[in-house]
Each structure stands twice: as structure tokens, then as C-alpha cells.
């Protein structure tokens, strides 16, 4: 023992031990650093408290940002055929006057007519004139640059939105009744007043469709004026889309709700010649009310919906939409939280004329033009190749890190992710038969130019990553019924505001018929995954009130395996981590959208905006999507915590 102690006491031995310890430390640090810098399969295990501490270091971006007309820098020359000078300003027209914004196809052009089955016929609007020709029915914009903060995720460019145009509350909602009681507003041509209670929006939409029926139908009788050898007879009919605005018994409609619904009808349905139909999908929560009876149905509509919308309202209740699915009734999972899509599936089955369905939340707002929103998103979805699409969908797109969406981001994902989804995701279930298209080649590598899927409409378009819920602490990740338990391959997309194709909804219907189901934010994208349908997470611009460094943004929002948003306990969608969305413009628990929208409407919120600012100038916004709050019925806004509003900027 003494001999051993002598060895330990020798200085040379201690030096050797210390050198060995130092060498081990350096080797370990080097390996860890190399792994952190070069391994794509990184999983950050960072406590939420560290995010909160970093978040608090940065000041508010929008509290001091002044987004008003005097700060607008206007271009000397701006050439865009969708933006027209407003002739009502006459000689007083200038660069800071609002312009007319019409982001529609050139329906009257020979090129459009030659590529479409039928002709476009202008429709009557709420002022009794052809809506596409009446200046009072148009949306106005300001052209220029306000130095608006850059979005945290996504971009206008990625989805095709025009980022050179700004809207104020008068140019955006004036055509739909906003400001109609004000005697004078500078820089605004007040539209002719409408007796809104005498307008029948359902009738206007139906008349519009009938005038344009030859565009959307395969019936030869509608093409009687065409020669039998006309090539136009071979052109496929245009697809129609239903926009289902979700509402419920007892809903109190604010002025802003009314103006928003009118804008959706005018911009999507009437101005497009019936390409869209806007419908109020009203939930009758009391299943004992016999809405199958015509007189009861009409009574419910008249008691719960403003008169102008009566003839565009469709009622539903859980007993009616669930009776087709006895297995779901037996499992007691037909409530609207877990089975929101039953009402949409029921509508799809009873209205086969629509190829696409928008599930539209009434408490969402798009501050831009609704036709641009729907049309550009459809174009974006159609342009996406299927190769690597599920992998791109699985993360937040951060332009400062990922580069251009269609090139650099695609290469980035291919470099860091194994392309596991090609066609449908295999599942060991004897009775599940995929109904989506088969890939043209047997592996993604054999499609080097990313061709498969280009030109194919998206079956699902959502607004947040389509993430891997397995491995996260997301609260409903395991609400899976009738498949193969917790190991069922699945994806999730939070917030059900989305567009679905008819074929996806029919596949969901069949899954439910056979007793297979998932909770509402799992079911559409998981059905698409298992059947091989095309899904898209649209990289629309999402703003943040805190401009964290881009590396931190990626760290906190894409913390999963291979840089995904999901598949990790640190996923921002997990329990107690959703506070990361608090000051963003798109999430059901976000509050930035509401603050900006209050200011947009001329009201004070969180020390910004208000009557003085509203009187002196106009608060302007880019086109954007966002969640809202409850609005008072007399244009006064109240934040009662019951609703979330989504602003799309």
C-alpha cells in the first residue's frame, strides 16, 4: 500500500494523469463539436427556459414600427397590369393615391378564351351593376415600400403574393360597408351606399354560376353555339371550389365579420364568374333540433344568420353527419374536436360538383385580396414536385437559412433528409388499400429533375409544417383509432384552416366507414400519407414581434431529427412549448396578428395605434394571414379570449 502511495505522490505520475485527462477532454470536445457542425441528424435537447431567456433579450419589432401612409416610399414607375389608376381621382391622381387592384386572369383576352371551355360572363354585384366593371366594388391598394419587417418564416415571393402593395381599412373594406357612415375621409372615394339587409348573396352567387355554367360543365347542350369540330369541346371543364365558412348557433356577427364575408363572396365568387361558391356552414350544436324538417331548418337559419346570408347557409349537426359511420359512433369519437371533418365530408358527398373544399375559419383574416390568396396558393401547390415534398413540408422554411424555396431549399432538404416517402407510405394493415397515384419510377433518385407531381393539383394545402408527431409531446399525437396503434405512420398539421381535394375527402370518408380515424389535425394529412396524395405546407409569410437571429429561430422551431419541426421532445408543437408562437402572426395561440389587426381597423391595442393615429393617417398592412379575436358588433373590438384570429399578411 505504501508503494502505491509513493507512486501516486510522484510528480511525474501526476503529470501523466493530468495530460491523459486533458487529452480525453479535448478529444471529447472535438467529437461533440464536429457532430454539432456536420451531423444532419441533430436533436437539440434545450429546456424551454433557455428559449424564454433568449426571447426576452430582444425588443418588440412592431411596437415602434410605424406602418402609415406618410412613410410609404412610392416608385417612380410601376408597371403591373393588375394595378390600375383610379379614374375617380382625375387630375388629383398621384403616386400616393390608392390604385384599383384586380389580380384576376385576363378573362376578356383571346388567350384566355382559347384555353378555356366556355366564356367568362361578368356578374351582378351588390350595387346592381356588373361587379367587375363597377369601381365602387373594387379593392384599393397603395403601391410602394413601407420598410415592413421581414417575415420570420416563408415569404411573399415563395407563394406568389404581391409584396409591393399595401392595404388600409378603407381601401380593403370600404366596398363592403366599412366607413359608410363617415362624412369625409381623405384620400378615399366613398362607394355608393348599399342597403345590405336587402342583398341576397346566395341568389347573386347562383345567378353568377348560371351565367358561366358552360365553363364548368361537361354537358354538350351548354356548348350549342360552338361548331361540332371546335377544339374547345375537348378542353376539360374548369374546377369549382367551395369555401365553407365555419360558424355556429348563437354566433354574434360583428361589423367586421359581415364585411369579411361580403369580401369573400365578392372577390372569390362574383368577380371570378362562379369559380368559387362561398357558404356558411352552420353547426347546430343541439342534436335534438330536427333540422331535417324544412320549416325547422329555415327557422334556425333566420334566427341565427344575418338576412343577407340566409340563402347561402348550410346547417349540420353531429347526428346527421355521423350516421354514416357506425364504428365512430360506437367509439364515441364524433365530436367536433376529434371529428371536425365529418361535416366537410358530408358536404362533399352531397355536393359532387366541387373538386376542392376550403375549410375556412370565420375568425381568420387575410388582409390582402382573397382571389390572389386562393389563386396563388393553388398555383403554388400545382407547381410543386412530389420528390422530397413530404420532407420539405416537415420543417419551417426560413429563407435566410434555406435560400430560395424552389431551388436552394430543395437541395438543402435532399442533403439532410432521407427521402422516405415516394408514393404512399406502406402500412401493415390488411384492409387499407391506397387510392393515390403510383410513382412513375420506383425511387426518387430516378426522378433527378423533380418532374413527378408538377402540374398536379395539391390535395391538401395547409399553413404550418406537416410534422412528425411521433416523438413529440404534442397533446393529441396518439389519437389514432382502428389502424395499427401508436406505431401507425402519420403526420400532423396544426390549425384546420386549409384546402382539401374531393378525392382526399372521399378517401377520409372511406377510412371512417371502415372504422379507421384520427383526430382532426392528424386525419387529412395522415390519410394523404397512407394513400399517396399530394400535400403542401404553404410557405406563406409569418411575422414575429421578436427578431431572433436566424440560427436561433432554426434551433427553436426546427429542433427535430434532420432539422424537422417535429419528431423531438423539443418540438415547438409540444406541450408547454407552444409559447414560442405567442408573438407570431399565424397560430391559434398567437397574439401579434390581433394586435396588428386592431391597429389596422383604427383601434388602440397594447400601446399602439388608436384614434389619434387613426385620425391623422392610415395604418397599412401587407397581404398576410392571421388569427383574430372577437370583434364587437358595432366595430368596437373586444378581446374576450374566446376566439383566435389569424391574419395572413
Sheet of 356-361, strand order:
313-316, 276-283, 241-248, 356-361, 498-501, 460-462, 535-537
- For residue range 517-568, list pLDDT tens digits in order: 999 999 999 999 999 999 999 999 999 999 999 999 999 999 999 999 999 9
Under the banding of pLDDT at 50, 70 and 90, the label for residue 18 is low
The yes-or-no verdict on residue 646 having pLDDT over 60 is no
Hey, CA dihedral for 418, 419, 425, 426, is it positive or negative?
negative
Question: Mapping DSSP to helix (H, G, I), strand (E, B) and coil, where does residue 248 land?
Answer: strand
Asked which of 67-76, 113-122, 167-176 is least confident by mean pLDDT, the reply is 67-76
Position 74 scores a pLDDT of: 86
The two counts, helices (H) then strands (E), for the chain are 22, 16
Long-range contacts made by residues 504-510, C-beta under 8 angstroms, separation at least 24? Answer: 504/459, 504/460, 504/528, 504/531, 504/533, 505/341, 505/344, 505/345, 505/348, 505/357, 506/348, 506/349, 507/435, 507/531, 507/533, 508/341, 508/345, 509/324, 509/345, 509/348, 509/349, 510/435
The yes-or-no verdict on residue 95 having pLDDT over 80 is no
Under the banding of pLDDT at 50, 70 and 90, the label for residue 70 is confident
Question: What is the distance between the alpha carbons of residues 397 and 154, in angstroms, rounded to a whole number?
Answer: 6
The yes-or-no verdict on residue 630 having pLDDT over 90 is no
Name the grid cell of 253. 356577427
Question: What is the distance between the alpha carbons of residues 465 and 529, in angstroms, rounded to a whole number?
Answer: 14
Name the grid cell of 578. 407552444
Mean pLDDT, range 637-643, rounded to an integer: 29
Under the banding of pLDDT at 50, 70 and 90, the label for residue 374 is very high
Distance of CA 306 to the CA centre of its chain: 27
Q: What is the mean pLDDT of the chain?
A: 88
- For residue range 445-488, list pLDDT tens digits in order: 999 999 999 999 999 999 999 999 999 999 999 999 999 998 99
**Burial of 529: CB neighbours in 10 Å, binned 0-12, 13-18, 19+:** buried
Question: What b/e string do you get for 219-253 counting C-beta neighbours within 10 Å, with b at 16 or more?
Answer: eeebbeeeeeeeebeeeebbebbbbbbbbebeeeb
Position 64 scores a pLDDT of: 81
More confident: 519 or 633 = 519
262: Cα within 13 Å, side-chain hemisphere: 30
Question: What is the distance between the alpha carbons of residues 50 and 185, in angstroms, rounded to a whole number?
Answer: 49
Asked which of 27-31, 149-153, 211-215 is least confident by mean pLDDT, the reply is 27-31
Question: What is the distance between the alpha carbons of residues 180 and 174, in angstroms, rounded to a whole number?
Answer: 7
The yes-or-no verdict on residue 230 having pLDDT over 90 is no
DSSP for 90-132, written as a single string: GGG--TTS-EEE-----TTSHHHHHTSSS-----B-TTSSBTT
Position 24 scores a pLDDT of: 59
Q: Please state, in angstroms and as integers, the Cα–Cα distance from residue 69 to each residue in 92, 614, 649, following that order.
A: 17, 11, 17
Question: What is the distance between the alpha carbons of residues 518 and 522, in angstroms, rounded to a whole number?
Answer: 6
The yes-or-no verdict on residue 642 having pLDDT over 50 is no
Name the grid cell of 568. 423531438
The yes-or-no verdict on residue 5 having pLDDT over 60 is no
- For residue range 285-330, list pLDDT tens digits in order: 999 999 999 999 999 999 999 999 999 999 999 999 999 999 999 9
For 89, list phi and psi in degrees, rounded to 5: -80, -20
More confident: 638 or 555 = 555
Mean pLDDT, range 585-593, rounded to an integer: 91
- For residue range 132-144, list pLDDT tens digits in order: 999 999 999 999 9
Neighbours of 617 (CB within 10 A): 17
Q: Please state, in angstroms and as integers, the Cα–Cα distance from residue 181 to each residue in 177, 191, 279, 442, 635, following that order.
A: 9, 11, 28, 64, 12
Question: What is the distance between the alpha carbons of residues 430 and 437, in angstroms, rounded to a whole number?
Answer: 19
146: Cα within 13 Å, side-chain hemisphere: 26
Position 338 scores a pLDDT of: 96
Under the banding of pLDDT at 50, 70 and 90, the label for residue 372 is very high
Question: What is the distance between the alpha carbons of residues 262 and 202, in angstroms, rounded to a whole number?
Answer: 11
Amino acid at each position: 500500500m505504501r508503494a502505491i502511495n509513493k507512486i501516486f505522490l510522484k510528480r511525474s505520475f501526476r503529470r501523466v494523469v493530468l495530460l491523459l485527462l486533458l487529452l480525453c477532454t479535448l478529444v471529447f470536445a472535438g467529437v461533440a463539436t464536429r457532430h454539432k457542425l456536420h451531423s444532419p441528424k441533430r436533436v437539440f435537447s434545450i429546456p424551454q427556459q433557455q428559449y424564454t431567456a433568449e426571447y426576452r433579450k430582444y425588443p418588440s419589432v412592431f411596437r415602434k414600427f410605424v406602418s402609415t401612409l406618410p412613410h410609404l416610399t412610392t416608385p417612380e414607375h410601376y408597371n403591373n397590369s393588375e394595378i390600375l389608376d383610379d379614374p375617380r381621382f382625375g387630375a388629383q391622381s398621384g403616386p400616393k393615391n390608392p390604385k384599383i387592384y384586380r389580380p384576376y386572369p385576363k378573362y376578356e383576352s383571346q388567350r384566355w378564351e382559347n384555353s378555356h371551355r366556355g366564356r367568362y360572363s361578368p356578374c351582378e354585384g351588390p350595387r346592381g351593376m356588373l361587379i367587375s366593371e363597377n369601381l365602387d366594388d373594387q379593392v384599393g391598394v397603395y403601391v410602394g415600400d413601407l420598410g415592413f419587417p421581414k417575415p420570420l418564416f416563408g415569404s411573399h415571393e415563395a407563394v406568389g403574393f404581391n409584396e409591393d402593395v399595401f392595404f388600409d381599412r378603407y381601401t380593403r373594406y370600404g366596398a363592403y360597408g366599412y366607413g359608410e357612415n363617415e362624412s369625409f375621409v381623405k384620400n378615399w372615394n366613398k362607394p355608393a351606399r348599399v342597403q345590405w339587409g336587402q342583398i341576397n348573396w346566395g341568389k347573386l352567387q347562383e345567378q353568377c354560376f348560371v351565367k358561366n355554367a358552360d365553363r364548368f360543365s361537361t354537358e354538350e347542350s351548354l356548348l350549342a353555339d360552338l361548331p361540332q369540330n371546335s377544339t374547345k369541346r375537348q378542353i376539360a371543364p374548369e374546377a369549382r371550389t367551395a369555401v365553407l365558412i365555419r360558424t355556429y348557433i348563437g354566433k354574434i356577427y360583428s361589423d367586421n365579420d359581415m364585411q369579411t364575408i361580403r369580401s369573400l363572396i365578392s372577390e372569390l365568387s362574383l368577380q371570378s364568374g362562379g369559380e368559387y361558391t362561398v357558404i356558411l356552414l352552420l353547426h347546430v350544436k343541439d342534436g335534438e333540433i330536427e333540422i331535417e324538417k324544412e320549416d325547422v331548418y329555415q327557422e334556425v337559419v333566420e334566427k341565427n344568420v344575418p338576412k343577407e346570408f340566409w340563402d347561402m347557409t348550410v346547417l349540420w349537426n353531429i347526428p346527421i353527419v355521423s350516421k354514416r359511420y357506425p364504428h365512430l359512433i360506437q367509439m364515441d369519437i364524433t365530436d367536433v374536436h376529434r371529428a371536425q371533418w365529418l361535416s366537410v365530408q358530408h358536404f362533399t358527398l352531397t355536393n359532387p360538383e366541387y373538386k376542392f373544399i376550403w375549410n375556412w375559419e370565420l375568425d381568420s383574416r387575410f388582409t390582402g385580396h382573397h382571389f390572389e390568396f386562393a389563386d396563388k396558393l393553388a398555383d403554388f401547390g400545382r407547381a410543386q414536385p412530389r420528390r422530397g415534398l413530404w420532407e420539405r413540408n416537415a420543417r419551417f422554411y426560413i429563407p435566410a437559412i434555406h435560400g430560395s424555396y424552389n431551388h436552394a431549399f430543395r437541395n438543402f432538404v435532399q442533403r439532410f433528409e432521407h427521402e422516405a416517402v415516394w408514393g404512399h407510405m406502406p402500412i401493415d394493415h390488411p384492409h387499407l388499400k391506397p387510392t393515390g397515384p403510383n410513382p412513375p419510377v420506383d425511387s426518387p433518385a430516378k426522378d433527378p429533375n423533380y418532374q413527378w407531381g408538377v402540374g398536379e393539383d395539391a390535395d391538401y394545402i395547409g399553413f404550418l409544417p406537416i410534422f412528425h408527431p411521433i416523438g413529440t409531446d404534442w397533446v393529441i399525437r396518439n389519437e389514432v383509432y382502428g389502424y395499427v396503434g401508436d406505431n401507425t405512420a402519420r403526420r400532423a398539421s396544426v390549425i384546420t384552416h386549409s384546402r382539401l381535394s374531393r378525392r382526399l375527402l372521399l378517401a377520409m370518408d372511406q377510412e371512417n366507414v371502415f372504422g379507421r380515424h384520427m383526430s382532426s389535425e392528424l386525419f387529412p394529412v395522415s390519410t394523404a400519407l397512407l394513400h399517396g396524395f399530394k400535400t403542401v405546407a404553404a410557405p406563406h409569410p409569418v411575422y414575429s414581434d421578436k427578431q431572433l437571429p436566424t440560427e436561433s429561430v432554426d434551433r427553436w422551431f426546427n429542433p427535430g431529427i434532420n432539422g424537422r419541426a417535429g419528431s423531438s421532445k423539443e418540438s415547438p408543437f409540444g406541450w408547454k412549448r407552444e409559447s414560442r408562437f405567442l408573438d407570431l402572426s399565424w397560430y391559434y395561440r398567437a397574439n401579434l396578428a390581433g394586435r396588428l389587426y386592431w391597429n389596422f381597423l383604427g383601434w388602440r391595442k397594447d400601446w399602439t395605434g388608436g384614434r389619434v393615429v387613426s385620425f391623422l393617417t392610415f395604418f397599412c398592412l401587407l397581404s398576410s394571414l392571421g388569427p383574430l379575436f372577437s370583434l364587437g358588433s358595432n366595430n368596437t373590438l373586444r378581446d374576450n379570449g374566446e376566439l383566435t384570429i389569424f391574419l395572413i399578411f
